Amino acid sequence: MPPLVCLASPISLPPLRQTPFPLLLSTARQPIPFGNPNLSYRPSLPVLFSFPGARRGQRNCRRTIPCCSSMPNSSTDQRVLSQAFLSNEKAFWVLKSLIAWNTSSDVASVCLYASWDAKLCLTDRGLEGEDFKIPLEWERCGLPSKVLEKFPHIRDYKAYTVPASVDFRKILKCQLAIASFGDDGKCSDVTGIQLPGVLDDLFAYDGPLGAIFSKRSITLNLWAPTAQVVHALLYKCPSAGDPFECIHLKDQDGVWCAVGPRSWEGCYYVYQISVYHQSTVRVETYTVSDPYARGISSNGSRTLLVDLNSEDLKPSGWDDLAYEKPDLPSFSDISIYELHIRDFSENDQSVDPDFRGGYLAFTCQDSLGINHLKKLSNAGLTHLHLLPCFQFAGVDDDKSQWKHTDDVMMSKLPADSEQQQAIITSIQDEDGYNWGYNPVLWGVPKGSYASNPNGPCRILEFRKMIQALNHIGLRVVLDVVYNHVHASGPLDETSILDKVVPGYYLRRTIEGCIEHSTCMNNTASEHFMVERLIIDDLLNWATAYKVDGFRFDLMGHLMKGTMLRAKAAIENLTKDVDGVEGSKIYLYGEGWDFGEVAKNKRGINASQLNITGNGIGSFNDRLRDAILGGSPFGHPLQQGFVTGLLLQPNEYDHGDKHIVDGMLSTSADHIQVGLAANLRNFVLTSHKGDVMKGCEILTHDGMPVGYALSPTETVNYVSAHDNETLFDIICLKAPVGISVDDRCRINHVATSIVALSQGIPFFHCGDDMLRSKSLDRDSYNSGDWFNRLDFSYQSNNWGVGLPPREKNENNWPLIRPRLADSSFKPQKHHILAAVENFIELLQIRYSSQLFRLQTANDIQERVRFLNTGTSWVQGVIVMSIEDCNVQLDHNYSYIVIIFNACPTEVSVPIPALKRRALQLHPVLLDSADSLVKRSSYESSSGCFKIPQRTTAVFVEECQSDRLYSSTRTV
């Protein structure tokens, strides 16, 4: 870096490192130092990882991952010992007084070694170069229960006691190793040490962090207990130039602090840290942004000193927004529409060109996109879910650096051509597109969506976006990604957390490698300060930006305790004190249980089955898979309830008729549980005629279908940003020979199951417009070309070329003929019909409180399934909702919903519904869909006739003397 120069006067810098005690250097034969070029060990290797879990198409991530070699517990080979010691951290310092290590039974003694300047090395005499050598005592009682609760994956490790006389605060800043010795005094094993346990024990901290503003001063606070020296370098500009001041921070029990004048506001800073980093086995000195940054320069290279309470950063009326929020009587009233910020407006010619693809596009009140959102809001939609919009990697904040494609030229290419994807992928890391699941700094809005990535512009514009959406009746959900970060190690510019406290924030294997099951660099919310950072970040977004909900990416990789404490902290927010009503902020996420956290191997995690009973929602993949067929990781032609299973087979061999019949019947059971909010204890009749609870109906791998304890814990969906769009899935799974009209009807039936279910309905933006990504199963980096939305309803983006090779090539033989067939492509009238159908579904849902029951008891009392048991009419689900006891609806006393997935009209006799005064729902009587208006009910027989691939809703109006009550709260 350039010399440190003060603009006013020279700066006298303290030494970056000071050695507080003499080094004990080896006098034996030439030692084997860390990084010896003669060793075959390489500190890191590029490895291509793939991983399971129903998330963003499960893109593979090529990252530099620390390589861990294995070795026997006992060996005298110095080369093997050196490699193991260099590449592994297999011991765990779990409490101030205890180190856990999986040593062999013949260990006679164990010692802890520490070196301030990372001089530890192995010779033929053992480990040398230490500043401290501390004998440890074996603890016969083993690890205490509180350690086993926090670190269950090391429950069988032996415990060794650290003497109380050790200067823990100083030694933890050193390079550390632990060595075992046999009866002969020879070293038998050596390894590094993982420190999160002892750091939590000694340095857990709940005081101020980040830049704290008062009337006259700014205080910088950085939690970095292993750092040896910390400076703050201050700059006038967001990039280039020398610092005008260098501040030496003081270490106060692991928190480094400095106080400066209020005149620093508007300047930028970075921390310069000297700290031992286990990935390079050296004491490194580097600069890093503040993990608690609330403002940054372009690409996060410097932290902006910004006071979020400044009046200059508040849109007009901002402080009153909490009192102007769209009404939300209950979480059961929520419906969610998932949207990517760039997708929303980049292709919308009605938006100011300077606003397209960014925050300010949502303030253009007469744009095509905003008019579409207004239609949905007026029909009842409550929440807009925004894909990640914190500072992420993968898109340069500087728009002038972006590369672009010639869309006019590409539009002339064949629908099944390979050329479009080749052009897109050639610039995919240099264009303006990425979903954003590459976290760099959690607490700052992404700069590429702002008109200026430097200064406070992104803050003001983000707030304007939230305010504008609230004013058209939509609350806003942020997609938060706390399960991983984009980078680690001391070299990557986007590595933040792992630079500040190396080895603490990221979850590691028992050998010391970083876990990568989530994609890259898994975080460890079981560590106190990681959890605290997550909760502080949520509170920042809730109070500083007044967001209305949070969707947790891979929530199952967070600990259950983290989620519960986050929920409690948010619920404590009040309008009068915090400017927001925390009790109206909804939390939900992906509760998948896989990787190193599966089956509670790292503590009780926030998986689907664990998180229930606490009012936190999780995505219901059971309903999705039953409706569509298979799973995102199965064969793409596997059919489900609406895509033709048994009733209209495709070319895939699902088995003989008996097997397929059972598959269809089982799918109906799963869907019925999902329609009843996926409740664990909801009682229904299965296709075999058995009376069962939702939790007693099992998936193919033996997991309970029903797991929720309240309706707001279930988020029902059939598609999301991950995997193919709903229309594309239908085009793959439905028979090739059916018409585009039929595919559109299948799209509508699938959507209707979600829209009319109990629980929280969730929709992917564009499913209401037959959105296509040209069959791309993972469009996270496929550019605007494959992700385009068209709010003029002219095109659904079908047939814009073969999707990118990386994730789709294996399916090209299936994809190519479909894209080449022009009959697959919907016309404008199809898209308009889909939009109208979706609006009608929302209107029906919000026409009666009976579609939005608030408790499990309400659902058990009122919801029934009538076409069940061994004599069920295949392909048809009949659900009734009866108002009873405390009346909830002053319009309707009884509702019947019939989902007909059959390719033909069906007659469904329901004797129990004879002589009811049922009629087609008023919204459907006025529907633009001529088929649904042909649905009929015969009172004398209780028989319904429903046209092919149609969802019909019948209602019985209330008598005038019925008592009405709908006073409930969240």
Quick one: average pLDDT of 905-932?
97
If you average pLDDT over residues 515-544, what whole number do you get? 98
Cβ–Cβ contacts within 10 Å for residue 724, how many? Answer: 27
Which range among 18-32, 134-148, 249-263, 405-419 shows the weakest confidence by mean pLDDT? Answer: 18-32
The answer to whether the CB of 416 falls within 8 A of the CB of 816 is yes
pLDDT of 216 reads: 96
Give me the pLDDT at residue 64, please. 33
Active site residues: 553, 590
Angstrom CA distances, 774 to 7, 268, 369, 729, 779, stand at 56, 44, 21, 10, 10
Percentage of the residues of the chain whose pLDDT score is greater than 90: 88
pLDDT the model gives residue 885? 74
pLDDT band, very low/low/confident/very high, at 232 (cuts 50, 70, 90): very high
Q: Is the pLDDT of residue 116 over 60?
A: yes
The pLDDT score that the predictor gives to residue 133 is 97
Q: What is the pLDDT of residues 391-438, one digit of tens each?
A: 999 999 999 999 999 999 999 999 999 999 999 999 999 999 999 999
589-618 as b/e: b if 16+ CB within 10 A: bbbbbbbbbbebebbebbbbbbbbebbbbb
Residue-level pLDDT at 308: 98
pLDDT band at 893 (very low <50, low <70, confident <90, very high): very high
Residue 154 has pLDDT above 60, yes or no: yes
Compute the distance between CA of residue 908 and CA of residue 937 in angstroms, rounded to an integer.
9
Give the CA angle between residues 922, 928, 931 to the nearest 5°. 85
Q: Residue 122: pLDDT band by 50, 70, 90 thresholds?
A: confident
pLDDT exceeds cutoff 90 at 45: no
pLDDT at 105: 87
Residue 721 pLDDT: 98
pLDDT at residue 26 greater than cutoff 90: no
Is residue 778 within 8 A of residue 788, CB to CB? The reply is no
Instruction: Indicate if the alpha-carbon torsion angle 480, 484, 489, 492 is positive or negative.
Output: negative
Residue 123 — pLDDT band, cuts 50, 70, 90? confident
Pairing of strands 892-900, 876-882: antiparallel
Confidence of residue 839 (pLDDT cuts 50, 70, 90): very high
- Residues 864-877 as b/e (b if ≥16 CB within 10 A, e otherwise) read bbbbbeeebbbbbb
* 400's tokens: 């002038």
Say if residue 835's pLDDT is above 80. yes
**Which residues pair with residue 286 across a beta bridge?**
273
Band of the pLDDT at 887, cuts 50, 70, 90?
A: confident
Residue whose C-alpha is closest to residue 336's, from 544, 551, 482, 547: 551
pLDDT above 90 for 642: yes
Farthest CA pair distance, the chain: 103
Residue 555: how many other CB atoms lie within 10 Å: 29
- The pLDDT-based confidence of 8 (bands split at 50, 70, 90) is very low
Is the distance from CB of 876 to CB of 949 less than 8 angstroms? no
What is the pLDDT averaged over residues 704-708?
A: 98
**How confident is the model at residue 960, as a pLDDT?**
59
Mean pLDDT of the residues in the chain? 91
For the segment 580-612, what is each residue's pLDDT rounded down to a tens digit?
Answer: 999 999 999 999 999 999 999 999 999 999 999
Q: What is the DSSP letter of 598?
A: G
Q: What is the DSSP letter of 769?
A: G
Rg (alpha carbons) of the chain, rounded to whole number: 30
pLDDT of residue 88: 87
What proportion of the chain, given as a percentage, has pLDDT over 70?
A: 90
Q: Give the pairing of strands 683-685 and 691-693.
A: antiparallel
829 Cβ contact list (under 8 Å, min separation 6):
none
Whole-angstrom Cα distance, residue 36 to residue 32? Answer: 7
